[in-house]
Structures are given as structure tokens and as C-alpha cells.
Structure 1
Amino acid sequence: MNGKKFVESHFHKYLTEHLNAEIALNTIQNFDIAMNWIRSTFFYVRAVRNPSSKYELQPRMDKDLIDRKIEEMCLRQIKELQKNGLVILNGMNLQTTVYGKLMSKYYLSFETMKLFRQIKGSETYLETINTIVKCKEFSDFVIRANEKGILNQLNGSPIRFPIRGRIRSNEDKISCLIQAVFGNLTLPTPALIQESIKIIRIGDRLSKCLLEYLRLRQSNDSKFRCYKALLNALTIVKCFHAKLWENSEFASKQIRKIGAVHSSLLVNAGKTTIKSISETDARTIESILNLSAPFGNELLLNIMITYPTYLLDISLKSENVIQVHLKQLNEEYIYIGSHTVLIVGDSLNNLLLYEENV
């Protein structure tokens, strides 16, 4: 078989994201450099050779008119970035902002960043989850006709935030699959299992970006009250990292060598927290899991090494002063990769303290 088909560019569909990334990297410092950069792309080559509606151009345009149209396109996208606080346009000079750097760091789409910029800081836990679910990064996951029955069954299972009515939209599917994973529910088809793995990976990136965005905005805007949203975002980051709800009975899935089956056996035996497992005799653990020694001893040692135990003491020193004392009880162990955050807020949604790696 013989034949040929020209490869076309999709660069213009993501021009906003590419421009922001190059400005954040300081590759593009003004509009002239931006245009020279665009002229070096495959998109420009194809736009000149094949001007068409695909590239927002008209057939048989001359090169000067094509350049002018691409300049307008580029300037329009830069002004959109400026409007949303991602770049600073001073005359024809361009400079990134902390939010533009954040968008580039986490490979966010422009639509997702605009969604984050609309956050008020007082969102509930469910509203924060729904913000992540609405992100454009999930647009590749579509609901298929043969999946609706399965998803409706999952929605009827004891998921934490059931979707009203029947599953109809792509967002409903994303929310349902995230909650199914966090709730340790079994997904019945290989396709949904594979999609859920990708969704959790994307959600982990988005939730971390949302958390960092709230911290940056709170640091740069003294009037922005965001304790509730920040606490919810921090909790959701934990959920995506552990692939479990923060109050899940299947907390043991986080322990090395404990999967879904062993975790269910521990839950049936009433061992629903890391603390309750750590206080259980090694031989009892082996009996519950139908495993031989020294598995129980290894499991308990792994818990002691991996999971810190804290004592939190809060005392009122005066009308305007609260003393927070945090002590690590098992100080003899060294924790690699553990991440601890101390966050304090008030009833007016003000963030009073945010300390990482305490």
C-alpha cells in the first residue's frame, strides 16, 4: 500500500501553557523573543505551508498576513495569562509570577489554573474534591455506555459522597472512581482499574499543586482567608498519597507487605488503625493473617520505623497567646520520607500557623 498524509501540529491548542512555561523558565523575556521562538516551531512551519482553519488561518494567506495573525494569537494568549495573574506584561516585556511558576512546575493546563484562581478559601471538603474532579487534566477519561451500570452500582455502594441520581457525566465517573479507590472498593473490570490508577496519579499531582497554590496565595495576599480550604487540601493530598480516605478502616494498606486481602482480615479482627495494630502481639497478627513467624515481628518493627507517634499539647497562655507543644514520642527511630505539617486556624478562617517538617 502506498500513500502519504501530512503530519499537522496541535501546538496552537496548548500555546498558553507553552508560553507560560517558557516565560517561567526566562527563555521568553519580551514579545519579540516570543515570536522568534514561535517561528522556530513545527507549528509555524505547517501554518505557513498549510494556512487553514485548523490553525485559525484562511487558505492562500501570504506569509506577512500569517505572521500578523500568529502575532495576534500570541498576544491574545499572553493577555489571558496576564489577566489571570500568571505573567506580568510591562509594555512588551514579560515576567512570570509565583502562580505562573507553579503552573509550569506541576504541568497544569491553563483551564485548571483558572479554576484554582477562583477558589475563595472557605470551600468545604466536598467542594475541594469537586474542584479537583473538574480539572481539565481528566478530560481524556470519558464515560462509556457499557460502564454506566457498573458505575451506578459503585455509586450505590457505601462511597463517602454519593452522586445524586445516576452517573451521567465524565466528572461523575472521575468522582466515583476516586471514591471507590479511597473506600477500598473492588473495581470489576480491568479497564476501570487501569483508568483509576491513572486518575489517582493525576489527582495526586493536582492536589499537591492546589495545596501549594493556597499557601502561595495566603503568603502574598494578607486578606485571603483560607484555613478551611488549606486544611481540606492538605487532607486530600494525604488521601491521594495513601489511596485511602483519611479516616479509612483500611489504614493498614499503607504498611509494607499488607495488601487489600490482608488489610480486610485486619479490619475484620478490629484492627482498623496503625496504632491498634502496633499494640497487637506479633503472634496474634500472624494468626489473623494466617502467616508464619517472624512476619508479625517484622510488621511491628516496620511500623515503629516508618510511622512517627506524636503528643500534642495546647495551652492558653493569655487572652491572645496559645502555646502549642508537639513532641515525638518514639525519638529513637529515624524517619525517611515522612512529612509532617502542623496547621492552626481560627473560627474566622484565618491561618494562624503552618509549619512543615516539624
Structure 2
Amino acid sequence: MCHAPRKEYHRKFLSEAFPVESHLHHNLHDHMNAEVVCGVVENKQAAVDYLTWTFMYRRLTKNPNYYNLQGTGHRHVSDHLSELVETVLDDLESSKCVVIEEDTFLKPLNLGLIASYYYISYKTIERFSSMITQKTKMKGLLEILASASEYAELPSCRGEEESIETLVRHQRFSAENSKNDDVHVKANALLQAHFSRQTVVGNLAAGQREILLPAPRLIKSLVDVISSNGWLSLALKAMELSQMVTQGMWDRDSMLLQLPHFTKELTERWQENGIESIFDLAELSADKMQNLLQLPNSQLKDITDSSNGSRISECRMKSVKVMILEPVAL
């Protein structure tokens, strides 16, 4: 039971073998960068030899049009692979991920090492390096994070531009001169909605989950790029951005929002009673905590357990900051 014009297609799909093609040539830059970093590919000839061991090489002569191959002869395949390797390595060199010595030997650079370690695109690490400056603020860090090429394939649904425009208007940092159908503007808006704990539904909620999934490793790579330039204050700000993603809150929000069952209204009420931090909360008696919270015992237990763990984490974070900020005498 199917649409009549599709019947023949489904019948062929069920009764005949369906060809599977390689997509390696669409992502070869990142694979080649990783192999150079690992030391598997040390020169251009090794890069060509590497391709001969791939599934793409097996399919080249079987379906030449799919791979833009001009002919199926050995010379055509050899020229195609050599040209492909030259193009990929030139792109990697221009993005400062790889250096080509004596027009043959390949050496990884710092950006290439970072991209390979965190498994991110060479385009993303190049964009991070070119956009970041010592004077970048939190708004700029968010824009840089949202510009990652990993977000270029975000699903876009028809008619969601109005919802994205509403999101952009109600966020802390507005996107100036931006198009609401741009996936990077969408990523920026959904990240800020996550920090504000603003509820999004439907396709936007699914898109937000896809944005948050790679965000921690993208930020870690951004921290490494910043650290390579020796910008301490900016590196700490990028680490704060990582905490914002994990905790779902802005850096200016109360630390009490890290605890389960806490809302902004409840946090404001606690601050009126002089409770500013998790340490203040931990010093309260159980009866006074219950009177202020007015929550079920099960939720109260969750808050108590989390506050004890958060005190340890907060002490560790303070000690880490002291280690970073205070020079050690050697």
C-alpha cells in the first residue's frame, strides 16, 4: 500500500541490491588531518596510498560519475586521487592545521592537533582562530561558538522563522543585522534560551538538543585556542561559558539555580532572607529550610544531597582558580 508512482521504486528496492556509496570525499579534510596528527600519513605519497585502502577507492571505478571521475582507467584513478590529495592538503595548510615542508612532507600544527583531539571540523577551528581576539566579550564568544560548522546541518523547518525572531528579541544578546533563516542565528538564540531556561517546544526543542550535544567539546577547543595565545582572562571567560552550557544558567545568575527544584522566583525569595550561596544554604537547619522552601520531603532531600556535593565542587573550583591566578615560585 503506497503512492502509485512510487510502487515501482519500492518493488525494485525490495527485490534488487541497493548500491552503497562512500562519503569519504565529502569529509576527507578532517580524516586526513587526523591521520597526519597520528603520524599515519607523513607525506603526500602516503596520503594517496591511504586512500587506496578505503571503501571509496573500491567504488571509484564502479560508479565514476558519482565521484566525478573522468574515466575508469588506472591513469584516470591515479590522477584523480593525486588531485584530490593536493586540494585537501592545500586547504589544510591554508587553515593552519598542517604545514607542507619541501612540498612533500606533512607536519601537524597546533590548530590541527586541537581539531583532531576534539573531533571537530578544520573549518570550525580555523573560524575560531580567526574570529577570537583578546578583547572578545561573552557576546562575541557566543557568536563564535554558534558559528561552528557543526551547526551548519541543523534541521530547518518551514515557517519557524517567526518563532526564531521571537526568541532573538527576548534574549540577553540580540543578533544585529541577522537573518532568522540562518542556522547560526538559530543556534545562538537556542543557546541563550537554554541559559535563560526558556521553554522551547517541538522542532526547536529537538534542535536545541542537537546544539547542546557538541557544545562542550567545541568550547574546550575554543579554550585551547585562547590558551595558545596566552589570554588568561578570556580563557576563564570561555570556561564560564562551558559552565553555563552544563548548568543551563547565565554567569550572572544566582548559584542557587544549580540546585534541583530551584526556580528564579524561589531564588529571589531566598536572597531576600539573606541566603546568597550554597554555603549559606548548607548552614540552615532542616526545619528552617523546610519553612522557606515549602517543598515535599523527597525534593528537599534532593536539594540537601546536591548542596553537599556542590560545596565540594565550589571549593575545588576556588582552589583551581587560585592555582591558575597565583604564580608558583620555582
TM-score band w.r.t. shorter chain: 0.7 to 0.9
Question: Which amino acid letter does the alignment assign opposite residue 267 of structure 1?
Answer: T
Indicate if the aligned counterparts of 1:282 and 1:300 stay in contact, CA closer than 8 A: no
How far did 1:287 drift? 3.2
Indicate if the aligned counterparts of 2:111 and 2:126 stay in contact, CA closer than 8 A: no
Distance of aligned partners of 1:342 and 1:78 in 2 relative to their CA distance in 1, 3 Å threshold: farther
Give, in whole Å, the separation in 2 of the partners of 1:285 and 1:354.
37
Matches within 5 A, 1:316-331: none
State the number of aligned residues: 308
Matches within 5 A, 1:99-138: 99-118=111-130, 119-138=132-151
Distance of aligned partners of 1:298 and 1:184 in 2 relative to their CA distance in 1, 3 Å threshold: closer
Indicate if the aligned counterparts of 1:239 and 1:245 stay in contact, CA closer than 8 A: yes
How far did 1:281 drift? 4.2
Give, in whole Å, the separation in 1 of the partners of 2:95 and 2:139.
25
After TM superposition, the structure 1 stretch with the greater mean CA deviation from structure 2, 119-128 or 276-285, is 276-285
Aligned position for 2:8: none
The CA deviation string for residues 102-148 of structure 1, in whole angstroms up to 9 with x for no partner, is 11111111210110221333222211210111110011214323322
The CA deviation string for residues 206-237 of structure 1, in whole angstroms up to 9 with x for no partner, is 1111001211243xxxxxxx345434322212
Aligned position for 2:269: 269
Residue of 304, 307, 324 corresponding to 1:303: 307
Aligned position for 1:341: 321
Give, in whole Å, the separation in 2 of the partners of 1:288 and 1:198.
37
Question: Which amino acid letter does the alignment assign opposite residue 321 of structure 2?
Answer: V
Indicate if the aligned counterparts of 1:183 and 1:248 stay in contact, CA closer than 8 A: no
Aligned position for 1:283: 287
Distance of aligned partners of 1:239 and 1:80 in 2 relative to their CA distance in 1, 3 Å threshold: same
What is the identity percentage for the equivalent residue pairs of Structure 1 and Structure 2? 20
Give, in whole Å, the separation in 1 of the partners of 2:144 and 2:24.
27
Question: Which amino acid letter does the alignment assign opposite residue 245 of structure 2?
Answer: F
SS in 2 for 1:137: helix
TM-score (norm 2): 0.81
Aligned position for 2:244: 239
Bigger share in helix:
2
How far did 1:282 drift? 3.1
Distance of aligned partners of 1:48 and 1:144 in 2 relative to their CA distance in 1, 3 Å threshold: same
Matches within 5 A, 1:1-358: 1=11, 2-52=15-65, 54-58=66-70, 60-91=71-102, 92-118=104-130, 119-157=132-170, 159-164=171-176, 167-187=180-200, 189-218=201-230, 226-227=231-232, 229-249=234-254, 251-255=255-259, 258-259=260-261, 262-271=262-271, 273-278=277-282, 280-293=284-297, 296=300, 299-300=303-304, 302-308=306-312, 340-342=320-322, 353=325
SS in 2 for 1:340: helix
SS in 1 for 2:99: strand
Give, in whole Å, the separation in 2 of the partners of 1:102 and 1:203.
15
The CA deviation string for residues 25-82 of structure 1, in whole angstroms up to 9 with x for no partner, is 1111222222111001111111222222x42432x34221221121121122112222
Distance of aligned partners of 1:67 and 1:103 in 2 relative to their CA distance in 1, 3 Å threshold: same
Give, in whole Å, the separation in 2 of the partners of 1:184 and 1:174.
15
Shift >4 Å, 4+ stretches: 292-298, 353-356
Indicate if the aligned counterparts of 1:282 and 1:297 stay in contact, CA closer than 8 A: no
Question: Which amino acid letter does the alignment assign opposite residue 197 of structure 1?
Answer: R
Gaps of 5+ in 2: 1-10
